[in-house]
A and B are shown apart, each in its own frame.
Chain A
Amino acid sequence: MTVKNASLPQKRREPLTDTQLLMTITICIFFAMYALAMLLLGGGFLRPQQIFDLLNDNAALIIVACGLTVVMIGGGIDISVGGVTSLVVMSCVLYLNNDGNMFVAMLLALGIGLAFGVVHGLLVSYLEIQPFIVTLAGMFFARGMTTILSVNPQKLAHEGLNALRAVKIEIPWLGYIAKNGNLIPGRIELGVLVALLCVVVVFLILKYTRLGRNFYALGGNQQSALMLGINVKRTRFMTFVISGLLSGIAGFVFMMHTGAGNATNAAGAEMNAIASSIIGGTLLTGGVGNIIGTFFGTLTLTTIKKIVVTSGLKDPWWQSITTGAMLLFFIVLQSVVLSNREKHNAKKKDSSAVKKG
């Protein structure tokens, strides 16, 4: 028996964990879908700029979705992210338009996000209130505050920041030749770099730090996590802090992209972020999920919207309908895959028991 055990690890590759399996499915579907769009729709989808535009437009969403994924892995939910993002945008625009300093604005963004995260975390972890209710209150509060700050849209009039907004990374060899014969290089906004950085950092936290693994343990089974000696309250608190902080960063990135503050900024961002996380293989029940999956989940969600628009269905409700259908498709797929897996495991046990008995 000992010999068999020792030789097993080398001979056999481990089957994917639930997290890896769901992430792989998402990535495959994304590439299949994109390839199909390239074949059938051609046009913009053949240019790399299409991907860059998706990233440029959705950098803030990617950041918000990262935070939400962390909360969901820990078994919670945070629906305040859109509201917080919007509050950050409005606060920063107003502050900057009053001759504010760019770096102080960044700190302001982080501070607002952190404050929301801390309050949510305290209420959920230490007072044990349902995260849905706590963050629902947070959402209303943030939306209300945004409107109090300004009912009217505010255009960003800060020279330094507008100059920063104009900075784009140009990649000539990924560009294309326009009709007039000019080469238009591939353009990436700075916000995308921030988003990618966030993805990498959260990925590292989840995969390699003690805290990150504790998030998974907490979402997997809270009672067990407690028995295994994990500080469950502090761990849950941290998920909300990370989510709040990322909402703050997302707000700043959002402002860089749009250059204006508006009471309806990032409307529905929380729902899009939840959808992205779920498409990316995060389970609402917690314990399963991956940031790379979420990244591709966001791309999948936004690509399908783009496909709908490009196919000529320009009315906004078509996007909603396809988003809904897509989400349903992924949830059904995930539950089928996971329940099959469970059955397979059970069968394996039965057959081994029969063999032994």
Chain B
Amino acid sequence: MPNETVLTMRGISKQFPGVRALNKVDFTLRKGEIHALMGENGAGKSTLIKVLTGVYGKDAGTIWIDGVEGEAHIHSPQDAQNAGIATVYQEITLCPNLTVAENMYIGRGEGLLVKRKDYEKKAGEILSTLNIPARPKQQLASCSLAVQQMVAIARAVDMNCKVLILDEPTSSLDDKEVQMLFSLMRDLKSRGVGIIFVTHFLEQVYEVCDRITVLRNGELVGEYVIEDLPQVQLVSLMMGKDLDELNNMSGFERKDKSAAEVTYEAENLSSEASKAFDFRIHKGEVNGFTGLLGSGRSESVRAIFGADKVTGGKVKMNGKSVHITKPYEAMKNGIGYLPEDRKRDGIVADLSVRENIILALQVMKGFFKPLSRADMEKFADEYISALSIKTASKDTLVGSLSGGNQQKVILARWLLTHPDYLILDEPTRGIDIGTKLEIQKLVLKLAEENVSVTFISSEIEEMLRTCSRLIVMRDRNIVGELTGDQLTQTQVMKTIAGGEAS
């Protein structure tokens, strides 16, 4: 019985315009197992889940589900439900204004009338067998997020699902709630439900899962039994070790700047999105935050820039105590921030290259002291040639440039303000290798000019090349700081994985 398969996916491929999201991926789920689906951002986890739940159609491949004759055809979330596949998403997909029991039974069954008494009784039974601390007649909004999630699971259980997909269910839960969820998962497992668990918390995977399937760049890396795959190896599988062809960073050397003056210093800094942390950076130093997606690396630098609401901590800039809770205050104090999400937080697609470049400078001067047209043109020309931005003219709309050139425009925007401290969050994501290299070189050049730079990237090689100090984060905590000889790929992965460094 334990090895009976309940779901088999073979050769699943999915192509999006310009991206191969899934390339001949296989996935097998057995009865009564908890199976982790792991991979970094863009690895294809969510695409695979969406193919399985009928949100996306697949281009190629076949799916077999236990109990469904022949090949399963899933074209809508409804089809998936009927085939016995239930999904619980990170965000709650229930109605907060209805009662717990109603949420478990609404949208199901036939007939004109609702059998309130009936399903309140049934809901009570299921809730108590699953040990879920909710009452059937309670309004859902009065339950905690964890309990709401469990109600969603109870609904899935009542529908006799064979496959339960939990998509990042733990990201908004606290430790105690996570434990409650896990005991529920183990309970379901003992009832023979196959559970697909998508998460980015490594420790949680090792706590509940039996098997791991790793995806990278839309391809299957492999399926492993949990005992056979130590945490370090999992991290290296997820990140991939494919060494770049570009190791020619000659002429630049990482320099230990720990003796130089401190540019920025934070003590116990915390924001709505990040836990409290200490941090300092020296003049001319390039440091990096690393960790898996969701480890809190972006949230930390957003707190430094004041991009999320700052909730506490002391900040010093060049030795002087300053108050930074808003991006504007950070800019006034000489901090620049190139955001992770270029399209959402970075470019203004409907403005020209010139207007995008002068944006930050204009904000710092104040809107009642407009830059002269001549100045704007001068600055734009200067940076277009300095960063070799490939654009038809300085009046071209930024939205029509390639990703790499858009990124350079945002870089130019911050360079123009001559910051003392520049934060680059994933500046090289989704851009071509040539531009990546240019940006890396630029970072090192800035450091020569005594600018402090924080550089964040998902690619460890890139960070090892540019940074003289790496701060490693896991599950929203700083777990290590690597300098000098420690800056090797193995050491970084060991620190990210933590625990038994084997």
- B16-24, B28-36, B103-111, B231-239 - interface stretch: B103-111
Q: How far is the CA of A288 from the CA of B140 in the complex (A)?
A: 13
Is residue A217 within 8 Å, beta carbon to beta carbon, of the partner chain?
Answer: yes
- CB-CB under 8 A for A18 and B135, given A208-B113, A214-B106, A225-B107: no
Within 8 A of B (CB), among A1-49: 1-2, 5-6, 8-9, 12, 14-15, 17-19
Is residue A111 within 8 Å, beta carbon to beta carbon, of the partner chain?
Answer: no
Interface magnitude class on chain B: 35 or more
When the two chains form their complex, are residues A229 and B114 in contact, meaning their CB atoms are under 8 A apart?
no
What 0/1 pattern do residues 206 to 224 of A give for CB contact below 8 A with B? 0011110110110111011
Chain A CB within 10 Å, residue with most, of B107, B135, B144:
B107
When the two chains form their complex, are residues B136 and A9 in contact, meaning their CB atoms are under 8 A apart?
yes
Is residue B373 within 8 Å, beta carbon to beta carbon, of the partner chain?
Answer: no
Report B127 CB to chain A, min CB distance, Å.
7
When the two chains form their complex, are residues B175 and A225 in contact, meaning their CB atoms are under 8 A apart?
no
When the two chains form their complex, are residues A219 and B107 in contact, meaning their CB atoms are under 8 A apart?
no
- A155-163, A250-258, A321-329, A349-357 - interface stretch: A349-357
Is residue B78 within 8 Å, beta carbon to beta carbon, of the partner chain?
Answer: yes
Report A283 CB to chain B, min CB distance, Å.
9
Of A8, A209, A224, A225, the residue contacting B113 (CB under 8 A) is A209
Is residue B431 within 8 Å, beta carbon to beta carbon, of the partner chain?
Answer: no
Residues on A with beta carbons closer than 8 Å to the beta carbon of B111: 210
Is residue B141 within 8 Å, beta carbon to beta carbon, of the partner chain?
Answer: yes
Q: How far is the CA of A244 from the CA of B238 in the complex (A)?
A: 57
When the two chains form their complex, are residues A213 and B78 in contact, meaning their CB atoms are under 8 A apart?
no
Residues on A with beta carbons closer than 8 Å to the beta carbon of B128: 2, 5-6
Of A5, A6, A345, A357, the residue contacting B176 (CB under 8 A) is A357
Interface magnitude class on chain A: 35 or more
Of A208, A219, A221, A227, the residue contacting B114 (CB under 8 A) is A208
What 0/1 pattern do residues 317 to 353 of A give for CB contact below 8 A with B? 0000000000000000000000000100100110011
Report A246 CB to chain B, min CB distance, Å.
20
Is residue A287 within 8 Å, beta carbon to beta carbon, of the partner chain?
Answer: yes
Residues on B with beta carbons closer than 8 Å to the beta carbon of A17: 97, 99, 139
Residues on B with beta carbons closer than 8 Å to the beta carbon of A223: 93
Residues on A with beta carbons closer than 8 Å to the beta carbon of B177: 353
When the two chains form their complex, are residues A345 and B142 in contact, meaning their CB atoms are under 8 A apart?
yes
When the two chains form their complex, are residues A220 and B107 in contact, meaning their CB atoms are under 8 A apart?
no
Of A18, A226, A357, the residue contacting B174 (CB under 8 A) is A357
Residues on A with beta carbons closer than 8 Å to the beta carbon of B129: 2
Q: How far is the CA of A352 from the CA of B142 in the complex (A)?
A: 13
When the two chains form their complex, are residues A217 and B95 in contact, meaning their CB atoms are under 8 A apart?
yes
Chain A CB within 10 Å, residue with most, of B97, B174, B176:
B97
Chain A CB within 10 Å, residue with most, of B89, B96, B142:
B142
The 10 closest A-B pairs by CB, nearest first: A220-B95, A229-B107, A220-B97, A287-B97, A228-B107, A227-B93, A230-B107, A5-B128, A224-B93, A14-B137
Taking A5-B127, A220-B98, A342-B141 as known contacts, 8 extra A-B pairs with beta carbons closer than 8 A to each other, sorted by chain A number, are A6-B128, A17-B97, A17-B139, A208-B114, A210-B114, A214-B107, A229-B107, A356-B176
